[in-house]
Amino acid sequence: MSEQNTGKISAAVHKTGLLRHFIKILMFVDLPIRQKFLLFALSTFFWFCTISAVAIIFFSTIHYQYYQISEYISPYRQAIDSVIIKLETLNRNIPPKNESVNIGGSADFPVFRKQLDAIRLTLTELSLRQTKMQSDRTIVELILQNMAKPNPEWLVYMQGMSALIDQIEKSLGGGSHKLQKSEPSPKGSSEPQNAALSDVHTQIAGAIALSNRYLEQLSSGYTALNSQIYSNIKSPVHTIIGLLITATILLVLFTYWIIVAFYTPIKTIINQIESLSTGDFDIAKKVSIDSMDEIGELSHNFNSLTESLYSMTIFKKVIEEDTSLADVYRRLGRVFSDKFGIEQYMIYEVNTSLKAMSAAYPPLIGGMKLHCHDDILTDCTLCRAVKTGHNISSFRFESICRYFNSEDGVGHYCVPMMLGGHTGGVVQFRFAITRDDSSLSTEDASRLYKAETYIDQSLSVLEAKRLMKTLQDSALIDPMTGLYNRRFLQEHTQQIISAVLRRSKQVGLLVCDIDYFKQVNDTHGHDVGDQMLKETSTILKNAVRETDLVIRFGGEEFLVLLLDIEPGGAMDVAEKIRRKMESFKLRTGDTILQKTISIGISEFPADTDGFWQAIKYADVALYQAKETGRNRVVRFLPEMWKQDGF
């Protein structure tokens, strides 16, 4: 694919992402819940204000147009109609030309003048009408009054009408052709009077024509305003209906988005919680995250929580099926390192009966060492976590435990594992100190919290397995000496044989018997005899390696299995045991007891390929040592076996 095509695809993806983001903004998807409802309130207020503003504008326009009609057009039309009527009346009262009239001898002129003054008064009252009764008008009416201005033609009409009325009055009452108080004209002298009458009629006709033209303009304006009012009545209704429909659609959409954003994930969370409570939980049914608001964060956290619970549930089931405590410790350690990234840790196992503790995981191999004093291994009460049963943190109180080997820049956090009411183990975490106040970082604190959760989940399993181990040990371990018993050897014979043959090594078999042990019980009592057995078992364990096995075979007889030795190596170990036993002295009251031990030796598979036959050979050698004076070590020889078969 060319770089140009790749660029086009990237641009298209970018545009799609921007479009999706823009749509989410319009739908309030990624906004916090508080802003969602704030915008919802603002949008509701916006639509309320919009509809109200549209209604106010349209109805104010209609009000303004009605105001124009009621305050200007209708009164003006009525006034102009009145003026026309007065002019027509005046025109009828003035005699036509060529008619012999004696105006001067009558009171006609004051009547004419009174009619002209009435016309002036009508026009003047109409002009002054807007300035009257302002104190009785509302603010809206005052605003409309200032907005509604009379037609400019009114000024033209007023000026023209005033001029014509003045001319009519002048023609009636002044000039060279006076009509008031004139004497009857002699015959043949009526031309001046006819000219004056003609001028008056012409002027009145002009005033009537001017009034009719202006009346037509008012009628045309009235018709236009009526049409606008009808249109404006329909427009706001349609507009408001459209706005209401739009607002309703948006409200329905937002309500749907609210349901999707709130109801759906919350309902899913409730269902998942019910599934968790009943145990019918499906990790695949995660809550979908469709927004970046608090609901999205809640869904994300709930998914993380369910994943953690599911992981812990699976972890607990797995360790329940593990066969040994060592497997549980190893798996718990792997969780610390692989899942939470805690590399520095140590799991200690506490033996309450012996008041000792040992490193359970990870094993101390290579250059690995303990980060605590070795004294705690032999006396677990020195460990502060074991003694108190509380979490011990150097991040809370520096140098809180004096048996921790302090290191610069490293702090420790010890978590006791409470099993059966006592401390059955301790998990020690070590974290780097990265700040001046020597406190635990937020990231490490989160890791530690999760690790403690897994520790809590494993406690019941550890307690059950330790109980099982105790029960098994009680059946396989001699309760007096703490050594393995004959049953242990019977159950693990095949494992021992397979391991030795696989490694092509030898096993040295030492059958040991305390000389004249019956005299101890008969002379000093069984308590002293038991004490002698315990001390003998201690001598045997201290004389061999940790990998070797010391077994109480029965009564005062012991069996020592020296694993992976070279041919002939068992003689040196047996002599070491004999010398230590010979030099041991047991004080009992005022008496000091000193006993010896006889040892018979055989080797498997050098002497025989049968394991139990090799033990029998060692027992035959022991019998030879007893017969030849005791306190001796005798190696089995073929000639000692007098029987034909085993």
Q: What is the pLDDT of residues 190-212, one digit of tens each?
A: 566 667 777 788 888 888 888 88
Taking the CA atoms of 519, 522, 524 and 527 in sequence, report the sign of the dihedral they define.
Answer: positive
What local confidence, expressed as pLDDT, does residue 107 receive? 45
Tell me: pLDDT of 644 over 70.
no
The alpha carbon of residue 601 and the mean position of all alpha carbons in its chain are separated, in whole angstroms, by: 72
Average pLDDT (274-289) is 65
Mean pLDDT of 549-562: 91
Per-residue confidence at 12, pLDDT binned at 50, 70, 90? low
Answer whether residue 246 shows pLDDT above 50. Answer: yes
Does the domain at 323-453 match CATH 3.40.50.2300? Answer given as no
- pLDDT of 541 reads 92
Domain boundaries, the chain: 1-30, 56-241, 323-453, 477-640
State yes or no: pLDDT of 49 exceeds 70: yes
Question: Kindly report the CA angle at 585 between 580 and 590, in degrees rounded to 5?
Answer: 180
Residue 109: the pLDDT is 65
- Give dist(CA 526, CA 443) in Å, integer: 62
Average pLDDT rounded to a whole number, residues 439-449 = 85
Place of tokens 């409730």: 270
- Give the pLDDT of residue 101: 47
Q: Which residue has the higher pLDDT, 466 or 273?
A: 466
Greater confidence (447 vs 140) lies with 447
Secondary structure class of 424 (helix, strand, coil):
strand
For residues 646 and 644, what is the distance between their CA atoms, to the nearest angstrom? Answer: 7
pLDDT, residue 645, reads 60
pLDDT at 175 over 50: no
pLDDT at 613 (0 to 100):
93
Q: Is the pLDDT of residue 315 over 70?
A: yes
Burial 558-580 (b: 16+ CB within 10 A, else e): bbbbbbbbeeeebeebbeebbeb
Give all strands of the β-sheet with 633-635 in edge-to-edge order: 549-554, 557-565, 506-514, 597-604, 633-635
How confident is the model at residue 188, as a pLDDT?
47
The C-alpha atoms of residue 232 and residue 235 are separated, in whole angstroms, by 5
- Residue indicated by tokens 């033990």: 615
Q: Which helix (H) or strand (E) holds 553?
A: strand 549-554
**Fold match between domain 323-453 and domain 477-640:** no
Q: Is the pLDDT of residue 3 over 70?
A: no
Q: How confident is the model at residue 314 (pLDDT cuts 50, 70, 90)?
A: confident
**Per-residue pLDDT averaged across 528-550, rounded?**
91
The rounded distance, in Å, linking the Cα atoms of 241 and 518 is 116
pLDDT > 90 in the chain, percent = 19
Structure tokens at 78: 């009525």
Q: What is the pLDDT of residue 621?
A: 94
Assess whether pLDDT exceeds 70 at residue 114.
yes
What's the whole-number average pLDDT of the chain? 79
pTM surpassing 0.75? Answer: no
pLDDT at 459 over 50: yes
C-alpha to C-alpha distance for 403 and 379, rounded to whole angstroms: 12
Q: Are 28 and 256 a contacting pair, CB within 8 Å?
A: no
What is the mean predicted confidence (pLDDT) over 442-467?
Answer: 87
In this predicted structure, what is the pLDDT of residue 16? 61
Residue 564 clears pLDDT 90, i.e. is over it: no
Strands (E), 371-500: 392-393, 410-419, 422-432
pLDDT of 37? 72
- Residue 172: count of CB within 10 angstroms of its CB: 25
More confident residue, 166 or 275: 166
Q: Which two tokens stand for residue 176?
A: 């060279």
Q: What gap in Å lies between CA 598 and CA 620, rounded to an integer?
A: 12
Give the residue-averaged pLDDT of 138-153. Answer: 59
Q: What count of other Cβ atoms lies within 10 Å of the Cβ of residue 527?
A: 10
**Residue 182 pLDDT exceeds 50:** no
Q: Between these two residues, 466 and 539, which has the higher pLDDT value?
A: 539
Over residues 21-42, mean pLDDT:
67
d(Cα 297, Cα 269) in Å, to the nearest integer? 13
Strands 633-635 and 597-604: parallel
Greater confidence (615 vs 99) lies with 615
Confidence band for 257, pLDDT divided at 50, 70 and 90: confident
Between these two residues, 35 and 494, which has the higher pLDDT value?
A: 494
Torsion of CA 470, 472, 476, 482, to 10 degrees: -10
Q: How far apart are CA 495 and CA 489, in angstroms?
A: 10
For residue 175, give the 3-state DSSP assignment.
coil
Model pLDDT for residues 284-301, shown as the tens digit of each residue? 666 666 666 667 777 777
Fold assignment, 477-640: Alpha-Beta Plaits (3.30.70)
- Return the amino acid letter for 557: E
Q: Give pLDDT, residue 97.
A: 58
> pLDDT at position 180, please?
46
Q: What is the DSSP string of 183-226?
A: PPPPTT--HHHHHHHHHHHHHHHHHHHHHHHHHHHHHHHHHHHH
Cβ-Cβ contacts under 8 Å for 458 (sequence gap 6 or more): 315, 316, 319, 328, 332, 417
Confidence of residue 166 (pLDDT cuts 50, 70, 90): confident
The residue that leads in pLDDT, 37 or 593, is 593
Residue 292's CB is within 10 A of a number of other CB atoms, namely 14
Q: Is 279 left (phi over 0), alpha (psi -120 to 50) or beta?
A: left
Residue 69: what pLDDT?
A: 76
Cα–chain center distance at 236? 47
Percentage of residues of the chain with pLDDT beyond 70: 80
Cα–Cα distance for residue pair 603/500, rounded to 1 Å: 12
d(CA 368, CA 457): 28
Q: How far apart are CA 275 and CA 272, in angstroms?
A: 5
Distance CA 233, CA 230 (A): 5
pLDDT at 581: 93
196 exposed, middle or buried (CB, 10 Å; 0-12, 13-18, 19+)?
A: buried
| Greater model confidence, 51 or 131 | 51
pLDDT of residue 550: 93
For the stretch 379-410, pLDDT in tens is: 888 999 999 999 999 888 888 888 888 877 78
Q: What DSSP assignment string belongs to 353-407? A: TTTEEEEEES---TT---SB-THHHH-GGGSHHHHH-S-EETTTSTT--TTB--B
pLDDT of residue 369: 79
